[in-house]
Structure 1
Amino acid sequence: MLTITDLHKSFETADAPMPVLRGVDMEIATGECVALTGESGSGKSTLLHLVAALDTFDRGSITLDGQEFSGMGDTARANLRRTRIGVIFQQFNLIPSLSVGDNLSFHARLSDRYDAAWQAELTERLGLSELVHRWPEQLSGGQQQRVAVGRAIAARPALVLADEPTGNLDEATGSAVMDLLLDLVAETQATLLMVTHSGALAARLNRRIHLRHGRVAEVAAA
């Protein structure tokens, strides 16, 4: 489903390019739920952004369902994000000028995959039925993250990427959000790649891939 080969990424600094990814190799099968772990600065978020087609890499390859990212222009990468990938950010990244209901349906409408029945089911299962007319600023952190999960799942993407999705939540709220995320990913038969610092959350997924200094240091069953 997802194949990453010899992936390199550096960022320019005042002195010299700073390598962040130094030859990452990994494969993730369709329907797998994989935790991406590692110390701060190991390249986890950078890798996730590259897989989300939010940035370009220096060399190597990323292939999603046979589609190679190398050489893609901005339009092609944007289309890939609309149609194949759902992203959940730690900081929620909801659109403040849209209601909860419109935030939930935003990605699905953008990809021309809006399904009113699925939207209603998601809204109910996420516990947001009474909040659809509110603004994001009127919600708690846990409610905002549930909206973010629903927005990512609404278009039924093949690949869901989550960057510390419970990092800003307390333990109980984070566990509840994780329950919802895993249930919805399983129901839609999506593949999940999740960055996390939490060993407890990583243990709930199928496998754990650990990065160290920009390389894969360990692959293990969760």
Structure 2
Amino acid sequence: MLRVTGLTKHYRTADEDVAVLRGVDLTLATGESVALTGESGSGKSTLLHLIAGLDAADSGEIRLGDTLISALGDAGRAELRRDRLGLVFQQFNLIPSLTVSDNLAFQSRIAGRHDPAWHDELVERLGLGALLKRYPEQLSGGQQQRVAIGRALAPKPLLLLADEPTGNLDEDTADEVLRLARDLVVRTGCGFLMVTHSARLAATLDRQVTLHAGVIA
């Protein structure tokens, strides 16, 4: 479902050209959950951002289903994120002026795939029923991340990408949030790629891959 081949990415600093990714190969099957681990600076977030189309690679290919992401321009990558990808970050990125219910439905409405029955199931599975009329500032960190996960999964994306989604949460809350995410990923059948520093959380997914110095170790 996801195939990354020979991916490279460099960044130019004032003094030098820094190679962040040096020919990364990665595959992910439909319905599979994969943890992407590695030390700080190994290129994990860069790889995730390239797959999400938030940045362009220097060389190599990223293919999601039948779409060659690495060949798309800015508009094509934005359309891909809207229609086929779900994104969850360490910062919850909820819209402050929208209620929980409207935040939850935001992505699916933009994608034109809002499903009221699935919306209601997400509310129930994520334990958000009593919070629907609240605003993000009225929620705990764990509650905000549950809304963010629900928003990402509401359009039933082909692939869910998560960059340290539990990094701002305590251990018990992190465990609960990741359990809910895994359950909903299984329910939708989408792929799940998660960047994490936690070996404990990584071990709960189907497979782990490690980036070291810009390559898959």
By the TM > 0.5 criterion, same fold?
A: yes
Distance 2:96 2:144 in 1: 11
Partner of 2:2: 2
Alpha-carbon distance, 1:163 to partner = 0.7
Distance in 1 (CA, whole Å) between partners of 2:133 and 2:11 is 42
CA deviations 1:56-99 (Å, max 9, x no partner) are 11000100002112331111111110111001101111111211
Residue 24 of structure 2 aligns to which amino acid in structure 1?
V
Q: CA deviation at 1:12?
A: 2.0
Q: Partner of 1:113: helix, strand, or coil?
A: coil
Task: Tell me, in whole angstroms, the C-alpha distance in 2 between the residues paired with 1:65 and 1:15.
Answer: 39
Alpha-carbon distance in 2 for matches of 1:70, 1:119: 32
Residue identity over aligned pairs, in percent, reads 61
- Paired residue type of 1:86: G
TM-superposition CA deviations, 1:1-56 (whole Å, max 9, x none)? 11111100111211232111111011111111000000000000000011011111
Which AA in structure 2 matches 1:77? Answer: R
2: CA distance between counterparts of 1:155 and 1:216? Answer: 31
**What is the CA deviation profile of residues 146-184 of structure 1, one whole-angstrom value per residue up to 9, with x for unaligned ones?**
000100110000100011111110111111101100000
TM-score, scaled to structure 1: 0.96
Letter in 2 for 1:130: A
TM-score by length of 2: 0.98
Distance (whole Å) between structure 2 residues aligned to residue 10 and residue 95 of structure 1: 32
Partner letter of residue 211 of structure 1?
A: L
Match of 2:57 in 1: 57
Distance 1:13 1:98 in 2: 39
Match of 2:160 in 1: 160
> Where does 1:145-184 land on structure 2 (aligned, <5 Å)?
145-184=145-184
CA distance in 1, matches of 2:10, 2:123: 40
Structure 1 distance, partners of 2:208, 2:121, is: 31
Aligned position for 2:105: 105
Alignment partner, residue 119 of structure 2: 119
Superposed CA RMSD in Å reads 0.8
Aligned pairs (5 A) from 1:206-217 = 206-217=206-217
Q: Which residue of 2 aligns with 1:220?
A: none
